[in-house]
Amino acid sequence: MKLFVGVLAVLVALAHAAPQGSKDGSAQIVSQNTDIQPDGSFNYAYETDNGIKVEDKGTIKQVKQGDADVAVSVQTGSFQYTAPDGQVISLTFTADENGFQPQGAHLPVAPSS
C-alpha cells in the first residue's frame, strides 16, 4: 500500500509539474477510465488536453517473507508529459516486492561493468 501511495504521489507531482495547455493554466481531462475490484486489483488511465497520459494497473499477490506470507501490491504502468524544454518525457514502470523499477530514455543508465 505504501508503494501504491508513493507511485501515485509521483504521478500527481509530475502532472502538476508539466506545462499547462490552456491560457488560464488549467488542463482539461479528455479521457478517463477507472476500474477498482473488491480483490484489490485495479486499473486506471487518463489523458489531458496538454499531453499528459497516465496508465496504471495493479494486483495483489502473496510473497513469502521469512515464515510469513505477505500481501504485496504489484503495479505496472506508464506516464507521459511534455517537459518545459518541449521534450516528451515517457516512462514505464513496474512496482512490486523489488521496489519501483522505472524505464525511460531520459533516465540515466549505470555504467556497464
DSSP 111: P
pLDDT at 63: 83
pLDDT at 15: 56
For residues 55-62, average pLDDT: 93
For residues 93-103, average pLDDT: 91
Phi and psi at 3, nearest 5°, equal -65, -45
Percent of the chain with pLDDT over 70: 80
pLDDT at 6: 52
